[in-house]
Structure 1
Amino acid sequence: MARANDDWQRLLNAADAESLVTRRGCLYTFQTEAAWVQASHKHDTLAWSGIHYRVLNAQQTTDLEPALAGKVKGSIWYPDAGHVADPLILCERLRQTFEALGGTLHASSEVQRLSPQETGVVVNTSTGQKICDHAIITAGIDTPQLANTLGDRMPLEAERGYHLEYPMESPLLQRPCCIAEYGFYMTPMAGRLRVAGTVELGRASDPANPARYRYLERAMERLFPELGAPSAHWMGCRPSLPDTLPIIGPSAHTRRVHYGIGHGHLGLTLAATTGALIEADIHNQAPPWLGALSIDRFR
């Protein structure tokens, strides 16, 4: 986590995409004074780790976010945090940079099997075979299907998160804001406010639970009744492992294939760092501690 901002900055600079990240921090807010005071004391332990934060009272919180006036008793502000208002545009900018550097995107090909060889990897796809020096699997919750073709096993589970979106021409909030008592974040996106949260362990293939959407909707009706009904709702599967750490490193059976999966709630946050660590490991330059994230811990 400590290097996430620096690793992302290098990618943003390369893709000329700095403007796509908004850096106004994020707020963790509390509706009761008791919860705010308790959290303030707990956050004292974060100082040693280099995490910057400020404890704000109700007035200081609403100075940052006027829409929260009368709704919260205080907050914790993390000023160094940033957020992406439109992840799709960021992905498109990164794709353009990748192709400008000589990369080729095979968007219509479904990878079915990986066959490591002494000098490379044969990638069997729905549109034929492709051969590469190294393969990196970052397929999220679908990773076990490919890992099985290599003989790798991992206890990857879906932490299902629920989302609502409210259209708006001008942002209601200036930064991501969590309502601690409700357990979800409200994030200003391009042309909309995204409400996302809760954790539900279950199979990725199971249908969404309507009660989860209703919980978020009722909370938003209490907070901002003027918004009306959401325009969209969806459920996504966070790929998570039992020890809450990702797998970053080679297959248990070949160094020709690497994994970068299992980041839970921090996939976008740690994406650039994961790529940098895998690149370093392929060139035998990874930091010694990376072994703690190996797939071998689940063998």
Structure 2
Amino acid sequence: MSRIVIIGGGIIGRAAAYRLQKSGHAVTLAAIPDLQPASWGNAGHIATEQITPLAHFSTMRRALTERFPAGPVAIDWQRPATLLPWSLRFMRACLPDQTARGDAALGRLMRHALPAWERLVTDLGAPDLLDRHGVVKLWEGPRARDVQLAAQSADHGTARVMPLFEAEFSAIRDRIAVPLDAGLRYQGTAHVTDPRRVLDTLLEAFLHAGGRSIEAEALSLQRRDSVICVETTRGAQEADHVVLACGVRSAKLVPFLRVPLIAERGYHIQWAHGGNWALPNLIFENRALVVTRFGTQLRATSFVEFTSPDSLPDPRKWLWLEDQVRRLGLPVASPFTRWHGARPTLPDYLPAIGPSRTMPGLHVAYGHNHLGLTLAAITAEMLADSVAGRAPMRAFSPDRFGRPLFRKMRKQCS
């Protein structure tokens, strides 16, 4: 049995804590409570169809042509020290040999995403946390049919794509106030039915299994003889293994690693639908807008905003979301609540999962970008393998971006 400290209390940190504790280890979860982490604030979608990393030159073109307010992309040009180094690495990741490796790696990983979630909710005794009814994507405009046909013939991994039955499409069009010209149903995907309950259930199950949780911020990591010392705001914690899973804050704890993370911020609004919503979860592709039902509530999410995690939110994004809700004619029976959160994104749009050679006993799980919820369950299983000495695929190695300059390494380790 190993002593393990997990740093980070989001969906990945909690899933890993539960999985490792159930594997027979003595696990301590160290995190400052966050009632609304990025995994809570997204669309709740288990996006098994998204098998291609966004590190492609086509993404770069879209980022330049679909900038807010004309599109969902926002780039904080006032922070060049954050943006420029990341952008240069992103462009390198877009080279053909790099994209081929990235596509293969993410496609392989995505095959395991939903089965891992099914195992997790079964182990938790809460299968109702996962809804497997899939999602409907909708298109507007004169090119909608062509785009639909292209989407239908594309590779979606384990997800199955099928045209909507006319009755189903008519039911959607009758409830939406803008003309809809095409739609597809994506089966083999899923969504969580209550993001807050998922987080709470994981923590409760972890504690019930004998895990330990402390409300503390990790300040530093240092290898001492055969153990890692985690200095926290509640004192030092010694461990045989440490799992670093604190999102965009991860980089500051491993200055001996190159961790080119950027905050890819998303926004949502949420409101009561008043019992007037019987449609499936919808993705309005032309608007880059996802509408998800969570019980009595609807949530609308959008935006890919590249910035620093400490920058102030942009209220115009919430106003845009509220305007879209009104334009679409969605039922609104309460005031809107607002959220924004920073998704940790690496330049190649692949997560870092597994052991680092720079510090024996250190395992990481960060950089999951918009797929954090989707990949949480399989990441937890991969971390259990990593602790057991079975390293994940090299494509996800935390060492793939190299190390800082030797002088920085020597200064840090002295």
Does TM-score exceed 0.5, indicating one fold?
Answer: yes
In the alignment, is the contact (CA less than 8 A) between 1:176 and 1:188 conserved in 2?
A: yes
- Residues 14-69 of structure 1: CA deviation (Å, up to 9, x unaligned): 1111111122101111122522332322431226x343111226643244786348
Q: Which has the higher contact order (CA 8 A, sep 6+)?
A: 2
Instruction: Select 1:54's aligned residue among 148, 162, 171.
Output: 162
* Count of matched residue positions in the alignment of Structure 1 and Structure 2: 293
> Which residue pairs with 1:142 in the alignment?
249
Taking the aligned partners of 1:54 and 1:236, their CA distance within structure 2 comes to 33
> Does 1:197 find its partner at 2:302?
yes
Report the AA paired with residue 93 of structure 1.
T
> Which residue pairs with 2:208 in the alignment?
100
Taking the aligned partners of 1:130 and 1:65, their CA distance within structure 2 comes to 57
In the alignment, is the contact (CA less than 8 A) between 1:29 and 1:180 conserved in 2?
A: yes
Taking the aligned partners of 2:314 and 2:178, their CA distance within structure 1 comes to 32
> Which residue pairs with 1:10 in the alignment?
119
TM-score (norm 1): 0.90
Shift of the 275–198 alpha-carbon distance from structure 1 to 2, 3 Å rule, reads same
Matched-pair identity in %: 28
1:168 to partner: Cα distance: 2.7
Taking the aligned partners of 1:164 and 1:218, their CA distance within structure 2 comes to 11
Measured on the aligned residues, the alpha-carbon RMSD in Å equals: 2.2
Taking the aligned partners of 2:295 and 2:148, their CA distance within structure 1 comes to 31
Deviates most, 65-74 or 77-86: 65-74
Instruction: Select 1:295's aligned residue among 395, 398, 402.
Output: 398
Runs (5+) with no aligned partner, structure 2: 1-109, 403-414
- Residues 103-122 of structure 1: matches in 2 within 5 Å? 103-106=211-214, 108-122=215-229
Instruction: Select 2:199's aligned residue among 85, 91, 108.
Output: 91
Taking the aligned partners of 1:109 and 1:226, their CA distance within structure 2 comes to 41
Shift of the 80–167 alpha-carbon distance from structure 1 to 2, 3 Å rule, reads same
Taking the aligned partners of 1:157 and 1:109, their CA distance within structure 2 comes to 24
Taking the aligned partners of 2:114 and 2:131, their CA distance within structure 1 comes to 12
Taking the aligned partners of 1:28 and 1:276, their CA distance within structure 2 comes to 30
> Which residue pairs with 1:130 in the alignment?
237
Report the AA paired with residue 298 of structure 1.
F
Taking the aligned partners of 2:326 and 2:390, their CA distance within structure 1 comes to 52
> Does 1:246 find its partner at 2:365?
no
In the alignment, is the contact (CA less than 8 A) between 1:247 and 1:261 conserved in 2?
A: yes
- Residues 121-177 of structure 1: CA deviation (Å, up to 9, x unaligned): 2111111111122110110111112122xx112110011111111123426254321
In the alignment, is the contact (CA less than 8 A) between 2:133 and 2:187 conserved in 1?
A: yes
SS in 1 for 2:180: coil
Report the AA paired with residue 27 of structure 1.
V
Taking the aligned partners of 2:178 and 2:170, their CA distance within structure 1 comes to 8
Deviates most, 257-266 or 86-95: 86-95
Taking the aligned partners of 2:279 and 2:383, their CA distance within structure 1 comes to 34
- Residues 1-299 of structure 1: matches in 2 within 5 Å? 1-46=110-155, 49-56=157-164, 59-63=167-171, 67-68=175-176, 71-106=179-214, 108-148=215-255, 151-170=256-275, 172-224=277-329, 226-227=331-332, 230-287=335-392, 290-299=393-402
- Residues 73-113 of structure 1: CA deviation (Å, up to 9, x unaligned): 2212112211112111111111121112211111x211111
Report the AA paired with residue 401 of structure 2.
F
Shift of the 109–220 alpha-carbon distance from structure 1 to 2, 3 Å rule, reads same
